Structure 1
Amino acid sequence: MVSEVSKVLMVLVIILLAFSTALACVGTDQAVFADFGAALKSLSQLMLNLDPPVFDLSSQAAAIFLVAFVLVSVIGVLNILIAQLNETYDRLSDLTRGYATLHRAQIAVELESYLSVRYRKTVWDSLHLDEPLEFEGGYKGPSGGIQALEPVSVILHPKYIPDRSIWCKGDASPQLPWPETDNKTVDGVLAGESDNQEA
């Protein structure tokens, strides 16, 4: 957020210097635009609304430059600042869910530290996190998780897509080729297993 504000302030300074130079070069006979320093001071007071001087412009070019400066500095650049701050807010609001999750985890860890070691060990043992998860019948996967089975209503849904992961049982060896895949559906695999059992 600080970088966005600094960019807008830099643009405002460039615009202020450019219009001060232009108004000083126009050559009006007023004291407010007599030279570069006076023009810079007058435009700064106008932009910040700090006791702005009274402009009695006899030159049409100076009046055009002054109106253009007011439009660009007050309306244009401030709208750019508002848009940048809004974009920063949107970007940060997308991360609020992650920040909330981290905060909840921090609270959970802090509350867990108040429990006794014996009670924590009982909870740990009840979760069976040291036992490997079963992916298929007879195939044990990695440990450290809690298995959640899909309900039958999800599996029987017409838009259900079976698991595309191919589990290769046995030890991994660079000399052994990958098993050939046969893109069977769940029903085809179950039918093949029933044929093998009948034989």
Structure 2
Amino acid sequence: MKSYVLLDHDGVLVDTEQWYFAAGRRALAEVGVELDEARYLRDMARGAGTWTQARAAGVDETTIDRLRVARDAYYQELLRTEPIEIDGVVDALAELAPYVRMAIVTTAKRADFELIHAGRQIVPFMDFVLVREDYEHSKPHPEPYATALRRFAAAPEEAVVVEDSARGLASAVAAGIDCVVVHHAFTASQDFSAATHRIGSLSELKSLVL
């Protein structure tokens, strides 16, 4: 039995992965660069993302800074207007809550996270939330999940991570924590061979944790 569940956010609790990509693609299109999805997913798996392709296309850093602001605005627009619920998430968390302590460990920025969860029922199940501003090194570095362990005063073997991306899985493995990967169509092509378990939805987690 595990006592602590550390949950990734995007793609695990809310369906936002493809909208973040779409916002980056829209921003890059403004300078004539086509954001290739397959390459984006490969870059994402190693902790990179949108701007890798921009730099490869010769876009300078000043322009990238401007495009990043545009991307963030487009993403928040999508968060306000597109469906991002994942069916069954709240029910799955409610089932787990009597038995384990939970936290969210995400690379999402605080502003995006707060926008997403205005009026939603997910955060009340959590002991705490770690967003991108709460640690120095992002996934696939182990720091995000190692930070969560310290907050709980927990040993790695007492916890399990739930992820949907290869970079998140790598972060959990580097922190010495078992990792369950939940299926998400956007990241399904990534390498999850190091996962402890693969599940189709969060509703399956209870049987693995207890």
Same fold (TM over 0.5): no
The structure number with the bigger radius of gyration is 1
TM-score when normalising by structure 2: 0.25
Higher RCO (C-alpha under 8 Å, 6+ residues apart): 2
Structure with the larger strand share:
2
Structure with the larger helix share:
1
TM-score when normalising by structure 1: 0.26
